[in-house]
Structure 1
Amino acid sequence: MYRSLLSAFASESRPISTRFAKHTAPLLSFHSSSYANTPIISSLPSISPNLFFSPVGPPPRTCSARTIGSRSGFLGLSRAICRARGFSSGSGDREALEYDVVIVGAGPAGLSAAIRLKQMCVERNVDLSVCVLEKGPEVGAHIISGNVFEPRALDELIPQWRHEGAPIEVPVSSDKFWLLTKNKSLPLPSPFDNKGNFVISLSQLVRWMATKAEELGVEIYPGFAASEILYDANNRVIGVATNDMGVAKDGSKRETFQRGVELKGRVTLLAEGCRGSLSEKIIKGHKLREKAEGQHQTYALGIKEVWEIEEGKHKPGTVLHTIGWPLDMKTYGGSFLYHMSNRQIAIGLVVALNYQNPYLSPYDEFQKFKHHPAIKPLLLGGTVLEYGARTLNEGGFQSIPYPIFPGGAIIGCSAGFLDVPKIKGTHTAMKSGMLAGESAFNVLVDGANMEMYWDNLKKSWIWEDLKKARNYRPAFKYGLIPGLAFSALERYVFKGRVPLTLKHGKPDNEATDISSLHTPIQYPKPDGQISFDVPTSLYRSNTNHEHDQPAHLRLRDPTIPELVNLPLYGGPESRYCPARVYEYVPDGKHGMKLHINAQNCLHCKACDIKDPKQNIEWTVPEGGGGPGYTIM
């Protein structure tokens, strides 16, 4: 694969742009569909014609949001070699690319950081090289969110966005909040204050942001999963490495084997989203939560579908949130239903992962929710277009870690800036990325200290908003009604200025009760019209992984599922996973054995969080694997 291409580059003395043109010329003579089935490209789900533009200068301004960021394989690496600040041999037999700034994750935080940094380069007439790695097959493929978008950060980042084709077109027209019982809906005062906000698809928005980043000269490489943090002799982070591709389940090298690549940066920014695998290693390894005197992080699992409904039922901009049924009074969570454009609605359920009952299935609770008398009529006659799931941070102000480490910083949901009462984290993720981008620029150009990112965070509206909202989520550890009462009192009477800070309860995994304390939940069978089984939903997520690769879901102790989880907790991993990755199947020797269907994984990270003994470790699979969201 690309190693032979690298050898060809290294062996020739012509300028690298000329060498690149020579080796890609045969490919340039074909339309993308012509070479889709060739041995080199056969494993790639899509190829963008923009991957073949001239390697000199910034990408063409005509690149579209739909074509940017298709999985690039060796072609993307070739492009990286042409653009990187340096190209050298890394550790072992890995090649190394050198940039001024390396960003992991092409979500709202990572792209905002890249855009702001390059804007400052233009303002100061400075040239800094910036690359963004994205594990999804294209930008936006792994992005899922509600999403009622607050444009505050985007107004600061790209003030003219309204005139530049941003996919932000549906303003909120009504905002309702209901308390649900099994058969009724009771209206409550809406705490969300969505005036001036928009109903959007975040996966579409980040594609648009990616075009803006590329216009500024940012290099974006989808299909490359950052799996390793690189350190120098002084334990300073100097970049990341991508994982090897083409490794078989047994560890042998397949014919398509590609060695991972080192991407070295003078500054490294981690923007992996909630429970980022590298971010968690940094937080634990450098004791960043302890350094900030923060509490543990708490999480929820959000499950979402996008439907196309009948014309007469569609009301663009209508926003509905609910709390209560189908969840019990001890389980925090709620639903959302947003009317998008083109007869589409986003509907979902968010379940806090500190729930106690090990028999609870968030997926089945969501399917049950859609049958509520106030919800079902809207869906009848409609069609599900996409399905997906993702965890989100709910710890808020109390759980923010110190976001700086030697050589870089953690930004966005990797650090946990979601505003829980608003159920919004996109605008805060973007703002944190902007602040980190500015700080990185000042570090590289003016010799500043990355500490300024932390200082500026604490001076920003992120800090102000999260501090005011700090007691909302922990108040619900006392139950639904006490939580509603306390949060209403703090919001409407004290306005976030109560002179105390509540603590979170147990970590989510420790909150799980043993199964003997609960009765198994009998969920209704899906009807195939409103509710669906997992395989049907999984198909709608466009999830795809190479089957012949080592499992990216690793058991620290392979005996715990059969000796602990199944007998004590009833095998909760078979229920909390929204993709049925984990199944207990008959085994002749031990009765039942855990089987892991890693190819089903939606990259939601619930298993990494909720496993009672923290025995499951989520790691990145081959780059380009996972869901393929387009309108989530």
Structure 2
Amino acid sequence: MQREVMEYDVVIVGAGPAGLSTACRFKQLANEAGQELSVCLVEKGSEIGAHILSGAVIEDRALTELFPDWKELGAPLNVPVKGDEVYFLTSGEKGIKTPHWAIPKPMHNDGNYIVSLGNVCRWLGEQAENLGVEIYPGFPAAETIIEDGIVKGIVTGDMGVDAHGGEKAEYTPGMELRAKYTVFSEGCRGHLGKQLIADFKLDAGKDPQHYGIGIKELWDIDPAKHEEGLVIHGAGWPLNESKSSGGFFLYHSENNQVVVGLITDLSYSNPHVSPFDEFQRMKHHPVLKQYLEGGKRVSYGARAIAKGGVNCLPKMTMPGGLLIGCDAGTLNFAKIKGTHTAMKSGMIAAEEMFKAISAGRENDELVEFTASFEASWAYKELERSRNFGPAMHKFGMFGGAAFNFIDQNIFPIPVTLHDTTPDYATLKPAAESKKINYPKPDGKLSFAKLDSVFIGNVNHAEDQPCHLKLKDASIPLAVNLPKYDEPAQRYCPAGVYEIVEDEKGQRFQINSQNCVHCKTCDIKDPAQNITWVTPEGTGGPNYPNM
């Protein structure tokens, strides 16, 4: 069956903050100039926001540049930060509240807003459609069209393919969406972005990207315990027991709800670590328990974050294409924020594409983008925070905190630290690592993986090809199991990977139906044997208010 071909001026992959900001800014410029320029945005989720998961406390700087009247337009930034607390948890019962003066300046949240980033993206999607952007949710970008070394567009995923690759009765081939310029804004570890970085050697001369896995829950809590606008961050227990790093958050949003989560750096070395179980036991700490006890868990999700910063930022341009936002890695880990920098990268991309198309150019490399981005406040912010993550990895929790306090609060330290070990290469053999016995969930504060996946509204069509591809099917049992006790059983926060024993012996089982699209397996597998690709459209989680 012939593929349908549609042509646009700009095609954008991914309806996160970066992609939506690109679409809005491009159409703003085109409409102001009276030019009929077409923009198509494709999103793999069932709707805009369905796959968006973030803390989230956001700065409004980029949003104010994009829509100065965002308050009048009803943007869902309804909860300004009113309190800002940071803790170091010394054990499962005790913790130290950090004095405000001792907190690195980037972590201060004065003037910021607690939001549902999914709802912010839904609102941005409405603005984009009002400006004339064509948005197609439920259409994953499965392939990049590259001809003569030039990105010419994307192919959306085929629909109606069975688990063996055969065509079902309802088979529909994906469409070719061709464009003068194609923008990739898939979020952290986008599968097309990953391929483009490799194909065009965009990361040459850069440190390897570093990641964390963020696991989050949304809770309804007792109104008497709710403090709208309170932001709590912290580190230490329980991750410090396994010499892992990361940190937790708990934000009091609107309607007597809080969001609580844990970011575990994927540079951890003990293969017995389970980020999901670390998060579940963390909620029993009194600092968190005091708010959650007696409440009801509403939703659950997980997503990897690219936290390497400017040292790991690849070249973001290639002939005919741009890589922006978290697909490139523009998150500022010192602030634990990436929405504002992702949006700004998209707005700059829109401005450079508009200039080029107005001048009659197409499918060339927008080298102007690099200079414009590096001149922006977003890049300067990333440059100023370049040592934050490497210092934590190099000097540990306390040494890194001391370095960053001096670097961010007293005077900039004139060095650039590097972390050149990829996260997948940090695991020690299981036999050399301390076994971790996680407590059983109590069903009140802590829960099982599959119960969690259920409230994330995760679903995939069952009779479709597995979207978690093994380069070598023998590696999980032949290499990873004896050496690392197959860590996929634990680093996946959705119970996708299992070692199953039956009368035929052991086998490595992939429960792809459970996948929340976090991409942790693609990042942390020590053999780099797992590749995440897009499943059939609308598959995955359907997050409410996350």
Q: Are the equivalent residues in 1 in contact too, given 2:497–2:508 (CA < 8 A)?
A: yes
Amino acid across the alignment from 2:68: P
Name the structure 2 match of 1:285.
199
Sequence identity of aligned pairs in percent?
A: 48
Q: CA deviation at 1:332?
A: 1.6
Query: How much does 1:377 deviate?
Result: 2.1
User: In 2, Cα distance between the equivalents of 1:374 and 1:110?
Assistant: 37
Displacement of 1:482 in angstroms is: 1.2
Equivalent pair of 1:149/1:200 in contact (CA under 8 Å):
yes
**Structure 1 residue 254: Cα displacement:** 1.3
Partner of 1:364: 277
Aligned to 1:437: 350
User: Is 1:491–2:408 an aligned residue pair?
Assistant: yes
The structural deviation recorded for 1:546 is 0.3
Q: Structure 1 residue 352: deviation in Å?
A: 0.3
C-alpha offsets along residues 94-123 of structure 1, whole Å, 9 cap, x if unaligned?
111111100000110000000000000122
Check the 8 A contact 1:105/1:270 in 2, yes or no. yes
CA displacement 1:503-554 (0-9 Å, x = unmatched): 1141000001110111221000000000000111111100110010010001
Query: Which amino acid is 1:310 matched to?
Result: D
Aligned residue for 2:35, secondary structure, equals coil
Q: Does 1:114 align with 2:30?
A: no
1:456 and 2:372 matched: yes
Q: Per the alignment, in what secondary structure is the counterpart of residue 302 of structure 2?
A: strand
The letter of the residue matching 1:341 is E
2:90 to 181, 184, 195: 181
Q: Secondary structure at the match of 2:212?
A: strand
User: Counterpart of 1:613?
Assistant: 527
CA contact (8 A) 1:331 1:480 kept: no
In 2, Cα distance between equivalents of 1:288 and 1:472: 23
CA separation in 1, counterparts of 2:515 and 2:373? 34
Within-5 A mapping of 1:490-529: 490-494=407-411, 497-529=412-444
Deviation of residue 185 (structure 1)? 1.7
> Which residue does 1:219 correspond to in 2?
134
How far apart, in 2, do the equivalents of 1:517 and 1:489 lie? 36
- Matches of 2:443 and 2:244 in 1, distance apart? 27
Q: Secondary structure at the match of 1:281?
A: helix
Q: Does 1:467 align with 2:383?
A: yes
- 1:259 maps to 2:173: yes
Whole-angstrom CA distance in 1 between matches of 2:289 and 2:537: 38
Distance 2:389 2:244 in 1: 12
Asked if 1:126 corresponds to 2:35, the answer is yes
**Partner amino acid for 1:488?**
F
Partner secondary structure for residue 240 of structure 2:
coil
**How far is 1:447 from its partner?**
4.3
Match of 1:398 among 305, 311, 326: 311
- How do 1:577-596 residues align onto structure 2 when only pairs under 5 Å count? 577-589=492-504, 591-596=505-510
Instruction: Give 1:160's match in structure 2, choosing from 59, 63, 69.
Output: 69
Alpha-carbon distance in structure 1 between the residues aligned to 2:339 and 2:192? 20
Residue 588 of structure 1 and its aligned partner are, at CA, apart by 3.8
Q: Counterpart in 2 of 1:311?
A: 223
Contact 1:175 1:190 in 2 (8 A): no
Q: What residue in structure 2 maps to residue 624 of structure 1?
A: 538
Contact 1:585 1:593 (C-alpha < 8 Å) held by counterparts = yes
Q: Deviations over 1:66-115 (max 9, x none)?
A: xxxxxxxxxxxxxxxxxxxxxxxxxx721111111000001100000000
TM-score, with length taken from structure 1: 0.84
- The aligned residue for residue 353 of structure 1 is 266
Find the residue that maps to 2:425 and give its secondary structure: coil
Where does structure 2 lack aligned partners over 5 or more consecutive residues?
none
Contact 2:103/2:405 (<8 A) preserved: no
1-structure distance, mates of 2:198, 2:371: 22
Q: Which residue of 2 aligns with 1:569?
A: 484
Distance 1:513 1:631 in 2: 38
Shift of the alpha carbon at 1:426?
0.3
The reply on whether 1:546 has 2:478 as its aligned counterpart is no
> Whole-Å Cα distance in 1 between the matches of residues 503 and 419 of structure 2?
43
Structure 2: distance between partners of 1:505 and 1:295: 5
Give the SS at the match of 1:297: coil
Q: What CA deviation, in whole Å up to 9, does each residue of 1:405-444 have, x standing for no partner?
A: 1101001100100001100000000000000011111111
The structural deviation recorded for 1:462 is 1.1
Larger RCO, structure (CA 8 Å, separation 6 or more): 2
Correspondence 1:480 to 2:390? no
Q: Secondary structure at the match of 1:479?
A: helix
Write the distance in 2 (CA, Å) between the matches of 1:368 and 1:489.
33
The answer to whether the aligner puts 1:198 opposite 2:113 as a matched pair is yes
Bigger shift: residues 447-456 or 546-555 = 447-456
Shift of 1:328: 1.7
Could you say what secondary structure the match of 1:161 adopts? coil
What is residue 146 of structure 1 aligned with on the other side? 55
CA distance in 2, matches of 1:413, 1:347: 22
CA-CA distance at 1:491 after TM superposition: 1.1
Unaligned runs of 5+ in 1: 1-91
Cα distance in structure 1, aligned partners of 2:514 and 2:121: 24
- Letter of the 2:373 counterpart: L
Alignment partner of 1:339 is 2:252:
yes
Deviation at 1:190, TM superposition (A): 3.1
TM-score, normalised with respect to structure 2: 0.97
Matches of 2:418 and 2:184 in 1, distance apart? Answer: 27
Out of 324, 328, 339, the residue aligned to residue 415 of structure 1 is 328
Contact 1:289–1:401 (CA<8 Å) still a contact in 2? yes
Per-residue deviation, 1:373: 1.7
Q: Structure 1: which amino acid aligns with 2:121? A: V
Is 446-455 or 508-517 further displaced after alignment?
446-455
| Alpha-carbon offset, residue 161 of structure 1 | 0.2
Asked if the contact 1:140–1:204 (Cα under 8 Å) also holds between the matched residues in 2, the reply is yes
- Partner of 1:256: helix, strand, or coil? strand
CA displacement at 1:271 relative to structure 2: 0.4
Distance 2:38 2:296 in 1: 45
Shift of 1:488: 1.1
Match of 1:35 in 2: none
In the alignment, residue 156 of structure 2 is paired with which amino acid?
Answer: T
Equivalent-residue separation in structure 2 for 1:108 and 1:123 (angstroms):
22
User: Offset at 1:383?
Assistant: 0.5
Query: Secondary structure of the equivalent of 1:467?
Result: helix
Contact 1:331/1:479, CA 8 A, preserved across alignment? no
Post-superposition Cα deviations, 1:306-365, rounded to whole Å, max 9, x if no partner, equal: 000000000110000001111026322000000000001010000000100000000000
Pairing 1:327–2:242 present? no
Specify the code of the residue in structure 1 equivalent to 2:406: L
Deviation string 1:478-517 (CA, Å, 9 cap, x unpaired) is 32111111111211222xx322111114100000111011
Give the Cα–Cα distance (whole angstroms) in 1 for the partners of residues 366 and 149 of structure 2.
16
Structure 2 CA distance for aligned equivalents of residues 124 and 587 of structure 1: 67
Q: Report the Cα distance in structure 2 between the residues aligned to 1:509 and 1:410, rounded to whole angstroms.
A: 23
Letter in 1 for 2:254: S
SS in 2 for 1:266: strand
Kept in 1, the 8 Å contact 2:207–2:420? The answer is no
